[in-house]
Structure 1
Amino acid sequence: MPWWGYLLIVVALLVGVALGFFIARKYMMSYLKKNPPINEQMLKMMMMQMGQKPSQKKINQMMNAMNKQTGK
């Protein structure tokens, strides 16, 4: 196989990796837009389902803890 054949394989591999990255990024952006992470309303509903009466102070504490954990 001539040298340009190897070059073509390397270029195709690099293009495939770059294209895969951008397609995966676009997919994740649209997924997060359709399915947002937990917000205050969802947290309040989960606490009520677990039998706890959520106060706004407790919800704010949990949201702050979750945001700190995810690095926001």
Structure 2
Amino acid sequence: MWVYILVGVLALLAGLALGFFIARKYMMDYLKKNPPINEQMLKMMMMQMGMKPSQKKINQMMSAMSKQQTK
């Protein structure tokens, strides 16, 4: 009787671990293909805040965000 419970618990733990890693891989691939913020969005946000966005400033902010994502 206790063998069935042990097998059930082990199967549950294996399913949870496998589901976690599959979901993590899916989200990482999704975020690589569809980054949350691109240059156009960043430019619009800066203009809405009253800043005049230069290409240099946009490039600096994009590279900073890219470095932050890889960590």
TM value normalised by structure 2: 0.68
Partner of 2:12: 13
How many aligned residue pairs are there?
A: 70
Q: CA deviation at 1:71?
A: 1.5
1:12-32 Cα deviation digits (max 9, x unpaired)? 31343145323x347636864
The 5-angstrom pairing of residues 49-68 of structure 1 reads: 49-68=48-67
Instruction: For 2:32 and 2:68, locate their aligned partners in 1 and report how far apart those are by CA, in whole Å.
Output: 21
Structure 1: segments with no counterpart, 5+ residues: none
1:27-64 Cα deviation digits (max 9, x unpaired)? 63686489631111110000000000100001001111
Percent identity, please: 77
Specify the SS of the correspondent of 2:15: helix
Specify the SS of the correspondent of 2:51: coil
Instruction: For 1:71 and 1:34, locate their aligned partners in 2 and report how far apart those are by CA, in whole Å.
Output: 14
Instruction: For 2:35 and 2:45, locate their aligned partners in 1 and report how far apart those are by CA, in whole Å.
Output: 16
Q: CA deviation at 1:11?
A: 3.8
Moved more, 24-33 or 59-68: 24-33
Give runs of ≥4 in structure 1 deviating > 6 Å.
none
Specify the SS of the correspondent of 2:11: helix
Specify the SS of the correspondent of 1:6: helix
CA shift in 2, pair 1:50/1:37, >3 Å:
same
